[in-house]
Amino acid sequence: MPTDVTSPVRVTELPRQSVARRGSAYLYRHAKVRLALLLSAPLFWLGFVYIAALVALLITAFWSVDSFTGDILIEWNFDNVTTILTESVYQAVTLRTLGAAALVTIIDIALALPIAFVMAKVANKSVQRALVIAILMPLWASYLVKAYAWRNVLAEDGVLDWTLGLVGGNSPGYGFEGAILTLSYLWLPYVILPIYTALERVPDSLLDASSDLGARTWTTFRTVIMPLITPGIIAGSIFSFSLTLGDYIAVKIVGGATQTLGTLVYTNVGTANNLPLAAAIAFIPIAIIFIYLGAVRRTGALSNL
């Protein structure tokens, strides 16, 4: 204890040498013990609950289910992996889910670019702040509520039917198109925000220089802005892409009979009671996400998340 008894200021009382005091002195001197105390509980929880569960899931994919009793049999085999790799239904569903993820990502980028540009470069400061809040707020409204909102919008005789009816169209209803619209809606704020942040970082002087040198708006956008904000766009696409790959609730709510990887996993855990097969299917989106992350890693998008 750094108490200096020889100093001219008279020290009346030394700290009491209680157990607690000795304990804290010990902790003060032993940084490793402090670290171990801090890390033990969280690492136990995350390691033994979560990582162990993920590893167990991977292992379960190589087991099978007794078709008679429904119990899981610990018999090592590659049946589930062979099934999902060879049966055409799994290929079709994987392709459909990938297509949905790609479509949702394209729609979201197309919607996000103009509003992010307005927020970052066109609007004045106070409008900018209001727009940021307006984009942030629905991000925190419940996922389920937002999916339900689209069930309202897409319903037969619902609001979209009525609106499009004014110009002679009608609502796509519950199905693949409905699911695409709803998923685009759900992930849109996640795509807008990284693009907006990237645009904010583009210095105005660069844009001025570009127009001073005679470039028109579109040329400036294509040759100056786009290369600078590409990491932001990719960061946004990671959200829309991977969230769509894993989704099943929104597809259930507005997708009608549409099957995606998520709904396949869900039916195999629930009604079909085939957890090993579900585990094997679940590794398709994980593999795709890791391939996607690996592909975009070089662009520097991951540090923009």
Partner 1 sequence: MRITPLTKTALWAAAGFVLVFIYAPLFVVVANSFSTSSTLAWPPPGFTTEWWVRALTNEAALNAISTSVIVALASTFVALLLGTALSFALQRFEFFGKSTVNLLVVLPIALPGIVTGIALNNAFKTIMGVQLGWATIIVAHATFCVVTVFNNVFARLRRVGTSLEEASSDLGAGAWTTFRLVTFPQIRSALFAGGLLSFALSFDEIIVTTFTAGSGVQTLPIFILDNMFRPNQAPIVAVIAVVMILIAIVPIYVAQRLTSSDSR
Tokens of 35: 């670290």
Binding of residue 143 to partner 1 (CB under 8 A): yes
- Cβ-contact 154, 178 below 8 angstroms: yes
Closest distance of CB 111 from partner 1, Å: 5
Integer angstrom CA distances of residue 172 from 6, 247, 276: 86, 20, 36
Q: Is 79 exposed, middle or buried (0-12, 13-18, 19+ CB in 10 A)?
A: middle
User: Which residue in 212, 221, 153 sits closest to 186, CA to CA?
Assistant: 153
Of 47 and 227, nearer to partner 1 (C-beta) is 47
Question: Binding to partner 1 (CB under 8 A): which residues in 97-116?
Answer: 111-112, 114-115
Tokens of 74: 């610990």
Question: Binding to partner 1 (CB under 8 A): which residues in 34-53?
Answer: 34-35, 38-39, 41-43, 45-47, 49-53
The size of the interface with partner 1 (CB under 8 A), counted in residues, is 97
Binding of residue 96 to partner 1 (CB under 8 A): no
Integer angstrom CA distances of residue 1 from 16, 21, 26, 219: 11, 10, 11, 68
Give the single-character DSSP code of 72: E
Closest distance of CB 203 from partner 1, Å: 11
Question: Binding to partner 1 (CB under 8 A): which residues in 194-253?
Answer: 204, 207-208, 210-211, 217, 220, 242-243, 245-249, 253
Lay out the site mask for partner 1 across 123-142 (x = CB under 8 A, - = otherwise). --------x--xxxxx-xxx
Lay out the site mask for partner 1 across 149-188 (x = CB under 8 A, - = otherwise). xxxxx-xxxxx-xx----------------------x--x
